[in-house]
């Protein structure tokens, strides 16, 4: 019955009456993922450019709806898994992404670090080993030539090209570290994104005092101190705030990824994408 109804609705997608088309589209949208296979087969069998365009738009709407719902669920569940949040954003542009392949790529980097890791090593020694594997063995680097490209914010593209922006590189780096029980977390600086190595044995109420040092992932994992953040903020003429020095939540990290994408697509003039991404960002307002 479902198959028959979906196929019947698809046949009405090229109806010239706007009201009929709107009703048919809403009905197909209500089927969600179930309708995608039928729509894709109809697209392959059609030679009508208008119908194909409507099908493509409808498939995108269903996939976008999935991303929005999954992002809302991730947020409502506490946003504990940073990699999961980043993968959801990735599906906005790459809905057919093989997420298991992505996870395996990250696990492979983690495994290479683990094989050389000495557990009595100091925090600095652990970071130097991470840096060696991440930058020298795997060849990751900051995308300085095309820094504004939206591709810098998509995990599969960063893993493929080994180039990304501050936040995408920081997410991959920190996810690998945390999988190895190394306490490295993101810090939301203005105009920059860095990482903090937290003293897991120091349980002060002041999160800033728990930070041993900071890491600039965009600059080959350069290690630096609080005074360097002070100087950076003075150069920007920005008043120091406590949260500029402390690890931020995974939700704040994903929100920043979305803001970067919005900025990148604004510069590219992709207004439809900007509107959709703003709506994804609004998920966090609820």
Query: What was the pLDDT predicted at 36?
Result: 83
Structure tokens of 10?
């698809």
Give the HSE-up count for residue 260: Cα atoms under 13 Å, Cβ half-sphere: 26
Query: What was the pLDDT predicted at 159?
Result: 97
Which residues in the chain come in under a pLDDT of 70? 1, 201-208
Task: Report CA-CA distances (Å) from 96 to 53, 160, 182, 214.
Answer: 19, 16, 32, 36
Query: What was the pLDDT predicted at 73?
Result: 97
Parallel, antiparallel or unpaired: strands 141-142 and 163-164: parallel
Residue 138 CB partners (closer than 8 Å, separation 6+)? 109, 162
Query: What was the pLDDT predicted at 206?
Result: 56
Query: What was the pLDDT predicted at 22?
Result: 79
Sign, Cα dihedral of 203, 248, 214, 226: negative
Alpha helices in 117-249 (DSSP H): 123-131, 155-161, 166-179, 226-236
Query: What was the pLDDT predicted at 277?
Result: 98
Query: What was the pLDDT predicted at 201?
Result: 65
């Amino acid at each position: 019955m479902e198959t028959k109804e979906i196929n019947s609705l698809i046949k009405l997608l090229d109806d010239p009456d706007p009201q009929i088309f709107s009703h048919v589209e809403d009905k197909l949208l209500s089927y969600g993922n179930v309708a995608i296979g039928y729509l894709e087969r109809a697209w392959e069998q059609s030679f009508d450019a208008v119908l194909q365009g409507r099908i493509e738009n409808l498939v995108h709407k269903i996939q976008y709806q999935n991303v929005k719902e999954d992002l809302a669920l991730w947020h409502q569940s506490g946003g504990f898994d940073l990699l999961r949040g980043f993968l959801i954003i990735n599906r906005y542009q790459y809905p057919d992404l093989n997420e298991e392949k992505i996870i395996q790529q990250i696990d492979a980097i983690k495994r290479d670090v683990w094989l050389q890791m000495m557990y009595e090593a100091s925090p600095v020694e652990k970071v130097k080993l991470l840096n060696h594997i991440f930058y020298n063995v795997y060849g990751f680097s900051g995308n300085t030539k095309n820094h504004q490209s939206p591709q810098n914010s998509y995990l599969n593209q960063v893993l493929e090209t080994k180039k990304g922006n501050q936040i995408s590189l920081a997410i991959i780096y920190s996810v690998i570290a945390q999988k190895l029980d190394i306490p490295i977390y993101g810090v939301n600086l203005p105009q920059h994104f860095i990482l903090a190595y937290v003293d897991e044995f120091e349980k002060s109420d002041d999160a800033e005092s728990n930070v041993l040092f900071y890491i600039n992932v965009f600059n080959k994992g350069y290690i630096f101190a609080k005074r360097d953040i002070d100087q950076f903020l003075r150069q920007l003429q920005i008043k120091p705030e406590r949260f500029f020095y402390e690890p931020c939540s995974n939700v704040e990290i994903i929100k920043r990824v979305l803001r970067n994408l919005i900025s990148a697509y604004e510069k590219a003039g992709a207004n439809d994408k900007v509107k959709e991404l703003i709506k994804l960002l609004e998920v966090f307002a609820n």
